Structure 1
Amino acid sequence: MPGPAPRSSEEQVSHGHGDRLIAALSRETWMPLAATATGSIATTAVALALPAALAAAVNAVVTGRGALTATAYLALLLAGAALAEVATGITSTTATASAIGTLRLRVAGHLLSADVSGATRFSTGELVNRLVSNTATAGSAPVTLLGTITGVAASAGAVVALFAVDPRAGLAFLAGTPVLIVVLRVFVSRVSGLYDEYQSAQGRLAARLTETLAGIRTVRAAGTANREIDRVLRPLADLSSTGHALWRAQSRTVWQIMLLMPLVEILVLAVAGLGVAEGRLTPGALVAVAGYAALGLTFVEQIDPLLGLAYGRSAAVRVLEVLALPVLPAGRRRLPDGPGALSFRGVTVTRGDTRVLDDIDLEIPAGALTAVVGRSGAGKTTLAMLAGRLTEPDHGRVLLDGRRLSDLDPGCLRDAVAYAFERPALLGGDIASAIAYGTARTTREAVRAAARAAEVDDVVSRLPLGYDTPAAGAPLSGGEIQRLGLARALLRRARLTILDDATSGLDTVTEAQVTRTLVEGMRGRTRLVVAHRPATAARADLVIWLEAGRVRGRGTHRELWRHRDYRDLFAPDALDSRGEPHRGEPAGVASRQESSCPR
């Protein structure tokens, strides 16, 4: 879709940018908008012709000449007005739906192409609110703007027609309208800022609610439901305050308008009435003056569309803040045949004021199992994301088989790299589709073989529908879901497989079985594993030890075990250099905590 080029997420997004987004939407949906404009123009033309037709009918009845013709013409105009209204309603609904759909597709596509680390700037609830609610409001703006333009055009045409019928009545009309225009302008200017605050509070409320619902088990287990309710509803105070401010602004404006509009109409009708009394105007002309005066004042009715536009501009700004997330530019080169050698050359990644990775130089051997270890915040996950280009380094290069990842065609890169995550999402429909997700062509037997390798085939087989069980409602534990994610990575048979803490939810026995698959079943393919347990590191061909974004050490687990700081990484697991438990007190025994409740 044409529109503003993506900006960095730090750049300030203003209402001017929102206006450009609405203009781009208008260009994208020009066909249904053109149909809506045609219907609106027809409706406006009929509305402008009606007072004149009514005046002609009145004069014809008074004079007794041509009454039938004038009445028939009036009836034809009324029928035309009804048809134009119906057609405009249909086309405007179509145009609005088209604009909303176009904007949502653009936002969704942008998010799926964005740097993964940048998307974490927004919570899931905030993104959902902007993708669903804000796109609907911003997508309605082009049709609202068109309605406002045609409404103002109808008012302007009515004023011209009023001058044509009686210039004195036209001058009387103009004398009373400036005050109305000032009132409207002040109102719209004030509510624009209030709408920004209102939508911001709405977004915070949606984000907190989504977070709480996602962690409902933790809330129930901790007994903090009331505390969470208070936290989720905290933005309601801002929402209520802003909402009341909007209502106060609207109420002040409404009574002013309701007072001024009748005064203008009375002034115009008084001038026209004097014209009839003086013989300057016919009775029909008085009817026409009344009709055009009422139609001329319909610009006041544009207050609702103007509010809609203010709301749409505010929503467009919130949508653009998502579209401002940096996108990873797509390369075009293909990946040459190779064993899967991974290289990091002078790689630096900065998040805010923190260097997550600082000038990293690494060579991951082709076909080897490499474990990445380190304390929380050392940069392990960032390194894993860089390896498959889910994020981009600020400086330096990442290469696979000598080819820079940023130069590669995205489809080619995805075929070469497989991921398994700590909390995998089961997408695709049923269990079989969730395992095969991202694999173009596969068989049910291949899916089952991958599940067996990930030690999850027996779990799936016990489900009522087996591999046809809907993934969304399957009664699976966190460790079982992790194993399904592992099966998905194993099925890909990629030259580089990356496991980002993908075995953290497994029990010791299952992890040992899965690790055996990684060591033996995937021999010859490059594996990069973010590890927290010494048993995994002990079986790796190479261990990369990260500390504060730098490489503290590299070598085998046995070699690094000589360092006390390295051994402390795995406390309280306390395994020796072979990954075997030390003798002594059992690891992981927690001390009893005092409780105020009886046991």
Structure 2
Amino acid sequence: MNNQEKEIKMMDPLVYRKLWGFVKPHKVKLFISTIMLIIALAGELYVPILIQKTVDNQIMAGLTVEQAQNGIMHNVIILFFILLSIVVFSFGQIYLLAILSQDVMTAIRHTAFNHILNQNMDFLNKTPVGKLVSSVTSDVETINELFNSVFTSLLRDGALIIGVTITLLFLDIKLALITLLTVPPAFVLIYLFRIASRKVFRNVQKCVSSVNTYLSEHFNGVQIVQLFGAEKKTSKEFQVENQNLYLATMKQVYVQATFRPLVDLLSSISMAVVIYVGGKYLGKDMISLGILIAFINLLSKFFDPIKDMADKFGIMQSAMAGGERIFTLLDSPQEVIEEQSTMANDIEGNIEFRDVHFSYKKGEPILKGISFKAAPGETIALVGYTGAGKTTITNLVTRLWPIDSGSILLDGKDINDMDIPTLRKSILPVLQDVVLFSGTIRENLTLGKEIDNEVLVQALKAVHADFVLNLPEQMDTKLHEGASNLSAGQRQLLSFARALVHNPKVLILDEATSNVDTDTEHLIQKALPVLIEGRTSLVIAHRLSTIRKADRILVLEQGKIIESGTHQELLSLQGTYYNLYQLQFNEDL
């Protein structure tokens, strides 16, 4: 725990420095906001002085009633304009800082989103989606709280404490010094509260995380809980997690409940010292009644910021934790680097693997010396048992993962020497799990590009996805989340149409027919010749019926190519492919 505290303490300035990088472009707003705050505080601090002058120079000065009333009226008018100025400048400061905060939060969210988009698959696979979403939303929002609640309050509170101290010394040095003797215990109390609060805050966060994990896990698996009759056991386990959170929260409440009364006690002691000593000084004509009233007024303003700091400390802890998470994300290295390409845009589609080795984890090789060529327009099928490395090969072609050794060439050029936009425009996949976004069918087909309606219609008809044209709103039909208002087969056909619309030179069909019914598979079989015509195609399929007409079939086993040939050639070998075919079709060959 000590090491962790030390680490976070050392990172606090780092978070502020990184945050300053986003604030710096808006430093003019910050400067104006700070000036407005200082003006508003100056007005607040002048009010007790004005009251002091009214008491000493009008009420207690032995003036006539008329003179006193005129003087008081004059000061009341001044007070009105001071209070009006305080309202105006306070509003301006809060509003301007809120604009600055939203500008900074928007910039951080956009930067974090783009950073995640350009991350490599290793990072994305290791980082839970929920954590990434939380970083871009919740963690950024905590920084927003840091601006709106904490930064404004701390700046105001700090300035107010300094201003009150200076004003007290200005009014009467001796009484001010005696009064300020009660202040050091308050700062010691703040320091002790900070240590205790940090400890209980971390404990609460740990328990909250544990509860969230338990809820997420068991809500996702609620069907298993019900089927195995584990409701009572699960309820008891959650009761333990919930009780731990309750106890941790009560410790936090205890720390906060202890601090405020102690600050109130110190405030009362300071007030008692001012009244007692000030009363003596007043009796000896060492100070005026107006100064004593001003001291009492100012002293109440002195301890209010201390209480406010305690209230904001929990928000500050949460904001610092959120800041650490979001800036740790932004500091994560991006291995996907854009480079200037010397490659022309007219890709032919010639693919070559040269002794490619690859592993997701160091020491656990997935591909072991893969070498093959695919000529432009050739269809290469990849088959093998689960875990043989079929999908990995297709991922490497698009540079989703960096290879360990060897090289992958496209038209004789190493793909590492090509810029990623050109590479991925030339090679498009039809994935096993079809990804369609919330929006219209048209938007999912074009993905932001300007494509003629006629081209879209032709693509839909070519892959037998013309069911879209029979929908009431046709291509403007809105898709639900995950395109749940379409069947699995319809989603697969739309992914075919999308690939055809973008007209790649190389096509990857990853288990393209594994999740569809027989009728849809028949439609896909009819669409495949249109889809792959004139394109280099890498096809992965568990249903071997879909690859019988492939120009060449590569059989993989434990990361190596063990067989290569046409459908009939591989059957005649009676090897691994033959066994796979027998298992699937149960035919006498």
With normalisation by structure 2, the TM-score equals 0.85
The CA deviation at 1:148 is 0.9
1:470 counterpart = 2:467:
no
Distance 2:207 2:376 in 1: 51
Whether the 8 Å CA contact 2:39–2:89 is kept in 1: the answer is yes
Distance 2:360 2:406 in 1: 12
Query: Residues 99-498 of structure 1: matches in 2 within 5 Å?
Result: 99-143=104-148, 144-196=150-202, 198-199=204-205, 202=208, 236=242, 239-300=245-306, 301-327=308-334, 328-333=336-341, 335-336=343-344, 337-345=346-354, 346-351=356-361, 354-427=364-437, 429-438=439-448, 440-458=449-467, 460-472=468-480, 475-498=485-508
Q: Which digits, 9 at most, give the CA deviation of each residue in 1:553-597, with x for residues without a partner?
A: 4433444443544445567423xxxxxx6259xxxxxxxxxxxxx
1:524 counterpart = 2:521:
no
Of 79, 85, 106, the residue aligned with 2:84 is: 79
Distance 1:203 1:526 in 2: 48
Distance 2:13 2:552 in 1: 53
Q: 1:323 to 1:254 in 2, by over 3 A?
A: same
Whether the 8 Å CA contact 1:350–1:357 is kept in 2: the answer is no
Q: 1:67 to 1:526 in 2, by over 3 A?
A: same
Q: Which digits, 9 at most, give the CA deviation of each residue in 1:519-547, with x for residues without a partner?
A: 45422211122322212333322333333
The CA deviation at 1:334 is 5.1
Of 90, 96, 99, the residue aligned with 1:94 is: 99
Distance 2:228 2:487 in 1: 22
Query: Residues 35-46 of structure 1: matches in 2 within 5 Å?
Result: 35-46=32-43
**Greater alpha carbon shift after TM alignment, 490-499 vs 516-525:** 516-525
The one-letter amino acid paired with 1:469 is T
In the other structure, the counterpart of 1:595 is none
Whether the 8 Å CA contact 2:500–2:531 is kept in 1: the answer is no
Whether the 8 Å CA contact 1:130–1:203 is kept in 2: the answer is no
Whether the 8 Å CA contact 1:330–1:407 is kept in 2: the answer is no
Whether the 8 Å CA contact 1:192–1:311 is kept in 2: the answer is no
Distance 1:236 1:570 in 2: 54
In the other structure, the counterpart of 2:7 is none
Distance 1:516 1:549 in 2: 32
Which runs of 5 or more residues in structure 1 are unaligned? 1-12, 575-580, 585-599
Distance 1:391 1:28 in 2: 36
Distance 1:476 1:122 in 2: 30
Paired residues in the alignment total: 563
The CA deviation at 1:284 is 1.0
The CA deviation at 1:285 is 0.7
Whether the 8 Å CA contact 2:377–2:533 is kept in 1: the answer is yes
Distance 1:380 1:238 in 2: 47
SS in 2 for 1:383: helix
SS in 1 for 2:359: strand
The CA deviation at 1:286 is 0.8
Q: 1:541 to 1:108 in 2, by over 3 A?
A: same
Q: Which digits, 9 at most, give the CA deviation of each residue in 1:362-421, with x for residues without a partner?
A: 433332112223333333333222211233335454332233334333332332222222
In the other structure, the counterpart of 2:6 is none
1:34 counterpart = 2:31:
yes
Distance 1:244 1:79 in 2: 43
Identity %: 23
Whether the 8 Å CA contact 1:436–1:491 is kept in 2: the answer is yes
Which runs of 5 or more residues in structure 2 are unaligned? 1-9
Distance 2:515 2:218 in 1: 22
SS in 2 for 1:339: coil
Distance 2:207 2:588 in 1: 56
In the other structure, the counterpart of 2:3 is none
Q: Which digits, 9 at most, give the CA deviation of each residue in 1:194-241, with x for residues without a partner?
A: 44554566567667777888899x779979996998699996566445
In the other structure, the counterpart of 2:60 is 62
Query: Residues 499-538 of structure 1: matches in 2 within 5 Å?
Result: 499-538=509-548
With normalisation by structure 1, the TM-score equals 0.83
Distance 1:344 1:80 in 2: 74
Whether the 8 Å CA contact 1:367–1:526 is kept in 2: the answer is yes
**Greater alpha carbon shift after TM alignment, 127-136 vs 315-324:** 315-324
Distance 2:547 2:232 in 1: 41
Q: Which digits, 9 at most, give the CA deviation of each residue in 1:322-374, with x for residues without a partner?
A: 33444211122153233112233434233366334345444333321122233
Give me the CA root mean square deviation: 3.4
1:24 counterpart = 2:21:
yes
Distance 1:222 1:485 in 2: 36
Q: 1:403 to 1:205 in 2, by over 3 A?
A: farther
The CA deviation at 1:150 is 3.2
The one-letter amino acid paired with 1:94 is I
The CA deviation at 1:279 is 0.7
The one-letter amino acid paired with 1:258 is D
The one-letter amino acid paired with 2:89 is A
Distance 2:255 2:565 in 1: 69
The one-letter amino acid paired with 2:322 is A
Q: 1:414 to 1:281 in 2, by over 3 A?
A: same
In the other structure, the counterpart of 1:589 is none
In the other structure, the counterpart of 1:50 is 47
Whether the 8 Å CA contact 1:192–1:314 is kept in 2: the answer is no
Structure number with higher helix proportion = 2
Distance 2:83 2:100 in 1: 26
Q: Which digits, 9 at most, give the CA deviation of each residue in 1:128-165, with x for residues without a partner?
A: 22221111002332453353133212201211221222
The one-letter amino acid paired with 1:181 is F
The structure with the largest alpha-carbon Rg is 2
Of 570, 573, 577, the residue aligned with 2:584 is: 573
